[in-house]
Structure formats: C-alpha cells, structure tokens
Structure 1
Amino acid sequence: MSKNLVLQSDFGLGDGAVSAMYGVAISVDPSIRIFDLTHEIPQYNIWEASYRLYQTITYWPDETVFVSVVDPGVGTSRLSVVVKTIDNQYIITPDNGTLTHIKQDIGIVEARIIDEEVNRLPKSGESYTFHGRDVYTYTAGRLAANVISFEEVGPLIEVDDIVELLKPEASIDQGKINGNIDILDIRFGNLWTNINRELFIQAAFEYGDSLEVTIANNTHQVYKNIMTYGRSFADSHLGEPLLYVNSLDKLGVAINQGSFAKAYHIETGANWKIIIRKVPKFSSN
C-alpha cells in the first residue's frame, strides 16, 4: 500500500492539534508521507468537508489514505468509519455526512466501523474529544504503513447505511436550468454550482451566449442580471460577471478580478438557488 496520508479538518493551524496528528502518524511509521488537504473548513461545516474531499480525491493515487475530521458529534454515539472507494482509496472519518459526495458521486465499495479496542492510540482511552488524533490518524497511520489491513479496521457496515446529507440535484425544464450554490471558490469569491456542463449542452447554451442568472436564498431574490457564458475570464471585461466551467466540470459564477460572493453577500447550501435561462432574442422588425 502507498504511504500517502492526506489530512483534512476544521482545526485551523493556530494551535498544536494538526501537529499532534502528524506526530501520531509518524510515530507509527516515520516513512509515511503526510499532506494537508485543508484545515480551514469552517467550524462544524460537514457539508464543506464532504465537498472538499470530492474536489480533491480523484487526483490522488490509489491506496492513498484520507482522514477528514469535522466532528461536532465527537464523544456521542455517532460511528467512526473507514470506507474504501471505487478507486481503491481509503477515507477515515466520523459517519456524520462527511461521505455524502464520495458515496453519491464517486462510489464506496466497502465500509468498516473502527474497532477502538484495537485501533486507538495507546494511553488515550480516557480522552473523548480528540478522535482525530487518538482514533482516526492512529488508524490511518497503521493502515498506510501496512500494520493493519483494511479487514482489520473493524466490522463491516452496509454502505447503504452510511449517513448522507441532503444533496439537491440540478435539473432542466423547458430550456431553464435550476440548481444550487454548492460551495465557494474561497480565495476568489466565485460561486461553484451543482450544475454539470452536460446540462448546458442539453439546454443548447453555447459559449458567448447571454444568459439571465437569478440567485435566491429560499424565496428571497438576491441577484438577477444578464451575463456572458465564457470559456475563461478573458471573455469578460474587468469587473464584469460571467458564467464559466470550473475545474470540476460544473458551472461557476464569477466577477472578473472581483469576489462575486462578497459583492452580493451570497452563501452556499440547499437554500441557495440559481436559475439560468437564455435571454430571448427580439427582432427589430
């Protein structure tokens, strides 16, 4: 098995939590290669943890081991699991919805509950608030280093029983596309939707088209404007809005060299709707 270990959490880097996780893994096997996916997930935001795994995992080699710790239910009866994906990668996480995108969009072939009688950091049995260090990273290190096999993680759980969050699907109706704002491209403030490029093809939208974009939070309209569907940001002028295909082959909404999210106070999730339709062409005759 590869010794790549990738860590994700909502811990930030302001204290020693992430460093402690590194230490646990290296103590299992100093040759493990440890990488950070991100530790800047907003606190308790399970949806974003799920999306960032989906955004990243397919670009890593098979047998890479991922740890994702966004765990507002730490110390409760929620399960701790290791899943094997269809691409032969492993994810170790609380079973709280973090695996939603992996389960629905990539595929999980097998799942196991972590047996903490075996796979728990020695002398940590009285700690109930840092499973990321004591259970998840310890188990991940042992799995990555071949100290244990996947079968030795613990008992099987049905893949169908893995917890999922509500995940709306985009749709097309008479040439109008309805979707959601899934996530932000945080650094630049672009909106990433759940609308696949294939839906644009079905709707006969083409690069260069002018499209009407409406964004609403529940039933409250936040934004409505006409913008160009472009191949890149070069297809718009500085400060202009545009639609584009992002790195996950989904539709994004941006302002050329500006933050769309900040400009219009737009957030993400199932309540944030986006509707896109072609602007009717009127004859001058």
Structure 2
Amino acid sequence: MGKHLVLQTDFGTCDGAVSAMYGVALSVDSNLNIFDLTHEIPQYNIWEGSYRLYQTVSYWPEGTVFVSVVDPGVGSNRLSIVVKTADNHYIVTPDNGTITHIKQRIGVIEAREIDENVNRLPNSGESYTFHGRDVYAYTGARLASGVISFEEVGPAINVEQLVELSVPEAAITGDVITGTVDILDVRFGNLWTNVSRQLFESAGITYGDSLEVTIANNTRQVYKNIMTFGRFFSDTHLGEPLLYVNSLDNLGVAINQGSFAKAYHISTGANWKISIRKIPKIIYNR
C-alpha cells in the first residue's frame, strides 16, 4: 500500500481544522504524503462530496487512502467506515451517502466499520464533534502508512447496506434526452450533467447540431433556449451557450467565457433536471 493520503472536507481553510487533520496524520507517520482533494465542498453537501470523489479517485495510484468528511450527522449513530473500491483504493468516511457515486460507477468490494476502541486518536474519547480529526484522519493515516491493515480497521459490514443517495439515470424518451445537473465546474460555472456522450450520440446527435435545452429545479423551469453541440468553446461566439463533452465523457453546458451557473442561478443534485431535444436545422432560401 502506497503512503498517499488524500483529504476532502467541507471545512474550508480559514481556520485550523484541516491543519489539525494534517498534524494527526503526520503524528502517525511523518513520512506520509498528504494531499488535498478539496476543502471547499459546500457545507453539509454530501452529494457534492460523493461526486468529487468519483471525479478524482481513479486517477490516483492503487492503494491510495482518501479521507472524506462531509458530516452533518457528526456524533450521531451513523457509522464510521472504510471501503475498498473495485480499483483498489480506500475511502474513510461517514456512512451517510458519501460513497454513492463510487459504489454505483466504480464499485465497492468490501466495507468495514471503524473500531473506535482501537482506531481513534488517543485521549479524544470525550470529543464528539471533530471525527474528521479524531477518527477519520487518524484511521486513514494508520491505514495509508501500514500501521494497520484493512482487516484491522474493524468488523466487516455488508456492502449492500451502505447508505446511498438517490441517483437518477439519464434516459431517452422519444426525441428527448433527460438527465440531471450533477455538479459544477466551479471556477468556470459550467454545468456537468449525468448524460453520457454515448447516450447522447445514440440519439443521432452530432457536432454542430442545434438543440433545445431546458433546465428545471423540480418542476420550476429556470432556463430554455437553443444552443449548439460543439467540440470546443470556440465553436461558439463569445457569450453564447453551448453543449460540449466534459473530462468525464459526459455532457456539459457552458457559456463561452462566462458562468452559466451564475447567469441563471443554477445549482446541482437530483432535483436539477435537464432535457435536450434536437431541432431541425433552419435552411434559408436565397
């Protein structure tokens, strides 16, 4: 197992919480390589924590240990777990849905409940609100450094009983493709959907086609317009919208050099629906 430990939280970096996790991990093994996935998950947003893991985990070496702490139920009776993925990575996290996208799209082959009698920072037993430091960073560091094996994390639990969030599937009904806005390309404000390139192309859509795109939050429509399916952002004029294939091979929605999310106040998750319909090309008589 490599000595790579990757941390993700909704803590931000404006105080000492993340630094404390680093300190605990390095106290276990000063030779650990510790990296940040992100600490800017929106507060309590388990869905986004789940998706960012899916976006990232597969690109790391086998044996890498991820600690993900988006934990609105900290101190409650929710379980603390470590899962082993189908591509041989480990995720240390609350059992609150954080492993949803990994389980459904990569696969989880084993899961164990953290035995806090063994895998908890010494002298922290009366603290109930910082499991990211006391349980997850500590256990993750012990696992990544080889102080404990996966089997020594704690008792095995049934993978099928892990908590999962609702994840709607993209589909084609007649001439309409439907899906969800799963996540934002945050810095640029692009929308990343769950509509795969393969599903999109199976509807007979090719680059350059014009499409009617509708976005709704539950039943409230927030956007409807015509846009082009382009290979590159430069396939449209500055400020124009387009559909494109993102780095996860799914459909994205963007404004060329603008933020689509900010322009139309669009967020993410299972309640944010997108529908796409191909429209005939308009041929003007000369």
TM-score range, shorter chain: over 0.9
- Residue 173 of structure 1 corresponds to 173
Q: 1:214 maps to which residue?
A: 214
Paired AA for residue 116 in structure 2: E
Partner of 2:268: 268
Counterpart of 1:244, as a letter, is Y
Find the aligned partners of 1:217 and 1:49 in 2 and give their Cα distance: 20
CA distance in 2, matches of 1:284, 1:209: 16
- Alignment deviations for residues 192-229 of structure 1 (CA, whole Å, 9 cap, x no partner): 11100011111010011111111111222111111110
Per the alignment, in what secondary structure is the counterpart of residue 193 of structure 2?
Answer: strand
- 1:95-153, CA deviations, whole angstroms, 9 ceiling, x for partnerless residues? 00001001101100000000000000001111011000000110111111111000000
CA distance in 1, matches of 2:222, 2:26: 49
Q: How many residues align?
A: 285
Q: What residue in structure 1 maps to residue 7 of structure 2?
A: 7
2:29 alignment partner in structure 1: 29
2:242 & 2:36 partners in 1: Cα distance? 32
Partner of 1:125: 125
Question: Which residue number corresponds to residue 72 of structure 2?
Answer: 72
Q: CA–CA distance in 1 between the matches of 2:218 and 2:94?
A: 30
TM-score of the superposed pair, with normalisation by structure 1: 0.98
- The within-5 A match list for 1:1-285 is 1-281=1-281
State the AA in 1 paired with 2:220: H
C-alpha displacement of 1:175: 2.8
Partners of 1:102 and 1:200 lie apart in 2 by 23
Deviations 1:158-188 (A, max 9, x none): 0001100011110011231001111111101
1:281, CA displacement in angstroms?
3.9
SS in 2 for 1:156: coil
Give the secondary structure class of the aligned counterpart of 2:146: coil
Q: C-alpha distance in 2, partners of 1:92/1:16?
A: 21
Q: Which amino acid aligns with 1:171?
A: A
In the alignment, the residues of structure 2 paired with residue 133 and residue 283 of structure 1 have an alpha-carbon distance, to the nearest angstrom, of: 63
- For the residues of structure 2 that align with 1:51 and 1:279, how far apart are their CA atoms? 32
Report if aligned partners of 2:46, 2:70 keep a CA contact under 8 Å in 1: yes
Query: Which secondary structure state, in structure 2, belongs to the residue aligned with residue 47 of structure 1?
Result: helix
SS in 2 for 1:182: strand
> Retained in 1: the 8 A contact 2:210–2:281?
no
- State the TM-score, normalized to the length of structure 2: 0.98
Any unmatched runs of 5+ in structure 2?
none
Q: CA RMSD in A?
A: 1.1
Task: Measure the CA separation in 2 of the matches of 1:105 and 1:180.
Answer: 16
SS in 1 for 2:270: strand
Percent identity between the two aligned chains: 76
Q: Partner amino acid for 2:87?
A: D
Question: How far apart, CA to CA, are the structure 2 residues paired with 1:181 and 1:122?
Answer: 42
Q: CA separation in 2, counterparts of 1:283 and 1:252?
A: 27
3-state SS in 1 of match to 2:223: strand
Amino acid at match of 1:14: C
Deviations 1:45-87 (A, max 9, x none): 0000000000100100000000000000000000000000001
Displacement of 1:241 = 0.3
Offset of residue 280 of structure 1: 2.3
